[in-house]
Amino acid sequence: MARGSQTMSASPHSKNNSIPQAKPSARAIAYSVLLAVETRAAYASELLHSRMSSDIAARDAALATELVMGTLRWQRALDFFIARYTGRTISALDAEVLIALRMGIYQLRHLTRIPARAAVNESVELVRRARKKSAVPLANAALRRAAAEKSEPLTSFLPAGMDATEALAIEHSHPTWMVERWLRKFGEPKTIELLEWNNHAPKQACAILNPARREETIRSLEEAGLHVEAGRLLKDAIVVSRGNVAKTAALRNGWIAIQDEASQAIPLLLDAQGGESVLDLCAAPGGKTIALAQRAGARGHVVACDIYEARLRVMRERLHATGTNNVSLVILDGTSDLPFGRRFDRILVDAPCSGTGTLARNPEIRWRLRAEDLAELRVCQVKLLASALAHLAPNGKLLYSTCSMEAEENESVIQEALAKSPDFRIEPVKVPQSILVEGVRAENLTDGEGAFRTFPPAQHSDGFFAAAIRRR
């Protein structure tokens, strides 16, 4: 997708007289992805991955990714400027025009290496190509005003007397309701830390799925032009930068999985032992399943479940690539009674959740999630946990985890599920010091109740929660 590439004419004597199409520019790719996220509730990272063909130059892939993720992170602040410069509400603008304006203002205010003229002209051209010619004068005028004020801080434009929480939410581009609850929970200094963390691009952590090929895997990544660093939290994790992991042989061959370090820690906290039976109730995409299978060993067995057959097919390929043979895959709805006539020594319930601990990595979540969604998610999470508890063996251990930072999805779920179950007790999560990098202390990863917690700015990871439950 090299920018400025020219369309080459086919020879009249060639077998195929069709004219090859010019590759789309980084901005065109970003525009199409953002439009799909806006209008079809698509997920940005998945779309970017699918659009990054093997012939896309690394520079263009990086720019497209920056434009998509940066525009999504700063969406509320960008919309504040759009309303200022157009004199219209966001809902009054066509999606095609809105996306072009967001991209243009993002480049003007956050990408200093892109000339203002290019940011303006390219964004106006996107409006024109989207066949919104009547909106071209509006977009052009708005972006020129934005260019003239691009060095002025947003706070200088906020109305005098604006509510402090509202102002903080606009300045840091988060929903007001989310900022309000974090202020109550964390206080202002930690909340601002979290908001700032969510608005930067985190480095890409990876799990090495076959420890026996660790050195070969790292060498393969480096030969592909990626820079490989040690993990910030876990000894066995790696962090990669300066390259596209999605295009590497290591990912295609199933040697690595793109997986946050806090997420990698979850199956280790369950502490499965060799020969044990393990249930992974919400298993896809499978990174945690492989770690559990390695812990259970050849004499142990893991039953991995998911509600979607397509996700299990992808898991099956990953299991095959890593030579993982002690896993059975089962399609089921974990919120209903489970079809197993047995109990398990270890159970992992890594529950579907709001994902508020992953907003740096998945910025579109903050614009889709509503406060009332937390209660709906909790209903599903309680059902999942209750179904799993019914199949926990005596003295067996269950780990309930989410990538949410909200009490409704964490402590409250456990309290409700255990309210009428005297056979179970909560026990402190044991974080083995041996899995952590030097300088990270295990006691700093658990709270006063013994639950595992990561706070993104502190651990440079997603925000995870995990609690351990033991059957008496």
Q: What local confidence, expressed as pLDDT, does residue 22 receive?
A: 61
- From residue 379, give the alpha-carbon distance in Å to each of 113, 384, 390: 48, 9, 17
Count of all residues that appear for the chain in the document = 472
CATH topology of domain 261-471: Rossmann fold (3.40.50)
Q: What local confidence, expressed as pLDDT, does residue 12 receive?
A: 35
Summarised one tens digit per residue, pLDDT across range 175-187 is: 999 999 999 999 9
Instruction: Identify the CATH class of 204-258.
Output: alpha beta
Report the distance separating Cα 323 and Cα 363, nearest Å: 34
Q: What local confidence, expressed as pLDDT, does residue 243 receive?
A: 79
Q: Catalytic amino acids?
A: 403
Report the distance separating Cα 192 and Cα 456, nearest Å: 12
* Sign of torsion over alpha carbons 346, 274, 260, 39: negative
Q: Is the pTM of this model over 0.95?
A: no
Residues of the chain with pLDDT under 70: 1-22, 53-54
Q: What local confidence, expressed as pLDDT, does residue 21 receive?
A: 54
Task: Catalogue the long-range contacts made by 5-10 (C-beta closer than 8 Å, 24 or more residues apart).
Answer: none
Summarised one tens digit per residue, pLDDT across range 301-339 is: 999 999 999 999 999 999 998 999 999 999 999 999 999
Report the distance separating Cα 70 and Cα 201, nearest Å: 8
Instruction: Identify the CATH class of 26-154.
Output: mainly alpha
